[in-house]
Amino acid sequence: MKHKVIVIGASGTIGKELVKTLEAGGHEVIRVSRSSGDYQADIQDKQSLDSLFKAVGTFDAVANAAGDVAAGPLEQLTDENYAFALGNKLMGQINIVRTALPHVADKGSFVLISGVLTQEPILGGTIGTLVNGGIEGFVKAASHEMPRGIRINCVSPTVLAESVAIHPYFPGFIPVEVWKVAKAYERALFGIINGRIITV
Amino acid sequence: MKHKVIVIGASGTIGKELVKTLEAGGHEVIRVSRSSGDYQADIQDKQSLDSLFKAVGTFDAVANAAGDVAAGPLEQLTDENYAFALGNKLMGQINIVRTALPHVADKGSFVLISGVLTQEPILGGTIGTLVNGGIEGFVKAASHEMPRGIRINCVSPTVLAESVAIHPYFPGFIPVEVWKVAKAYERALFGIINGRIITV
């Protein structure tokens, strides 16, 4: 069965691979990025998300691969660092679900993103672990209250093989190839699971 | 060994029991509440926390039992509901740690609070699970970056036996007596554990 899937963060490493994977499966993909793609939106800006979903109209699923946090040594983190991450990767993703929910089809599907820091803290990654814990909590709880048979899941990738520049911050971590992350999204998008955190 | 412990939320069900437990153990307790106690502070107001810790001067530990979230059906939650909870139980607790850290003694100890919703979502509790996930993430990550031998842990109580009015929202949950929650704080405060979530 073919689906119409909105991919947010479509120009990033995960987003590009996910678009490729979905199109190879014959699905219709709507690409969303801050400054490219079929539609532009910024997950930090709830109004831009609301406009996006109204403009697309009808769709079966939303897969988000966008979300930034601030990083730095615990004692140097500022109010602005926390506020940025809470507004971006945390509330940005929650606002995707809130604004898309009235428009997504019955039995639709949401996939959000957390990451390996949930289980494995790294130096300077306190805000990352905090935000991932929050987003995973949201997914686990919200899954039980989604209306109309709609599902929500979360993909939690470890550091990407392709993200060579940040490998030094993840000593001893075995990177994952991005195609496997895209498969996890596909599994969450089109399977029956709900409220799950898929670590990959 | 006797310690000087600041208890925030000292007038609540957990806070009162914790004060009693600590005083029975011969510790010096500084009671903090929004409108009673030895000092007044509101965890939502970072400036009030900063003033509190400067005023107390030196202390060995901070135990927080305060923190509110908004509750309601997923589709009815508002921007204000999310913002309130993120500013109160989530960033409020993180700001306790950030503002107290320069003042707490070497080998000091922080204890924060999450709750059973982390693992067991209930109807209307999405924000509770989200906030608990965030605070537990913060504790797990920050524990590795605390300076001067300072430790941080989190107590996660299920619904309190004493909180009869909210029992209907927790069907089938076996309530915990508050004295056991106070013991969990004591264990976290004066043990050697760090970065742990103590479920009780």
Nearest to A16 by CA among A32, A28, A34: A32
Q: H or E segment at A105?
A: strand A104-113
| Cβ atoms of A170 and A122 closer than 8 Å | yes
Q: CA-to-CA distance for B109 and B132, rounded, in angstroms?
A: 20
Can you give the pLDDT at residue B56? 98
CB-CB under 8 Å, A147 with B75: yes
Buried-state track A28-63, b at ≥16 Cβ within 10 A, e below 16 = ebbbbbbeebebebbbbebebbbebbeebeebbbbb
DSSP state at residue A86: I
A121–chain B nearest CA distance, Å:
5
* Partner-chain contact A121 B133, CB within 8 Å: no
Q: Per-residue pLDDT tens for B129-143?
A: 999 999 999 999 999
User: Per-residue pLDDT for B59 more than 90?
Assistant: yes
Average pLDDT over residues B125-131: 98
Interface test with A, best of B126, B146, B148, B154 (most A CBs within 10 A): B126
Selected residue of A45, A47, A74 to mutate for chain B interface (largest B Cβ count, 10 A): A74
| Phi and psi at residue B60, to the nearest 5° | -95, -25
How far is B184 from A106, CA to CA, in rounded Å?
Answer: 45
Q: What is the 3-state secondary structure (H, E, C) of chain B?
A: CCCEEEEECCCCHHHHHHHHHHHHCCCEEEEEECCCECEECCCCCHHHHHHHHHHHCCEEEEEECCCCCCCCCHHHCCHHHHHHHHHHHHHHHHHHHHHHCCCEEEEEEEEEECCHHHCCCCCCCHHHHHHHHHHHHHHHHHCCCCCCCCEEEEEECCCECCCHHHHHHCCCCCCECHHHHHHHHHHHHHCCCCCCEEEC
Q: Minimal Cα–Cα distance from B165 to chain A, Å? A: 22
Tell me the mean pLDDT in the region B13-34: 98
pLDDT of residue A61: 98
Residue of A nearest to B117 (CA): A141
The predicted-structure confidence for B161-184, as pLDDT tens digits, reads as follows 999 999 999 999 999 999 999 999
Q: Do A130 and B77 touch (CB under 8 A)?
A: no
CA–CA separation, A198 and A178 (whole Å)? 14
CA atoms lying within 13 Å on the CB side of residue A101: 21
B87 within 8 A of B80, measured Cβ to Cβ: no
Residue of B nearest to A123 (CA): B145
Cβ separation B144–A138 shorter than 8 A = no
Look at residue A160 and give its three-state secondary structure: strand
Option in B73, B133, B136 nearest A145 (CB): B73
The count of CB pairs under 8 A between chains A and B is 97
Q: Which residues of B touch A86 (CB under 8 A)?
A: 86, 90-91
What pLDDT score was predicted for residue A120? 97
Tell me the mean pLDDT in the region B29-48. Answer: 98
pLDDT above 90: residue B35: yes
* CA within 13 Å, CB half, A144: 16
Nearest to A129 among B75, B91, B137 (CB): B137
**How does the average pLDDT of chain B come out, rounded?**
98
Residue in the structure block whose two tokens are 């691969």: A65
Confidence at B1, pLDDT banded by 50, 70, 90: confident
Work out whether strand B39-40 and strand B59-64 pair parallel, antiparallel, or are unpaired: unpaired
Q: Which residues of chain A fall short of a pLDDT of 70?
A: none
Residue corresponding to tokens 């979530």: B197
Q: How far is B21 from chain A (nearest CA, A)?
A: 30
User: Which amino acid, residue A66?
Assistant: A
**What ipTM does the predicted assembly reach?**
0.97
Residue B154 token pair: 């989190």
Q: What is the mean pLDDT of chain A?
A: 98
Q: Tokens for B112, please give them.
A: 């924060």
Nearest to A120 by CA among A108, A112, A111, A128: A128
Residue among B126, B134, B147 minimizing CB distance to A145: B126
The DSSP letter of residue A145 is T
Query: What is the gyration radius of the CA atoms in chain B, in angstroms?
Result: 16
pLDDT mean over B3-27: 98
- CA gap A174, A200 in Å, rounded: 11
Decide: residue A80, CB within 10 A, 0-12 exposed, 13-18 middle, 19+ buried: exposed
Class of domain A4-199: alpha beta
Per-residue pLDDT, A1: 85
Bridge partners, A63 (sequence order): A7, A111
Report the alpha-carbon distance of residue A189 to residue A61 in Å, rounded. 7
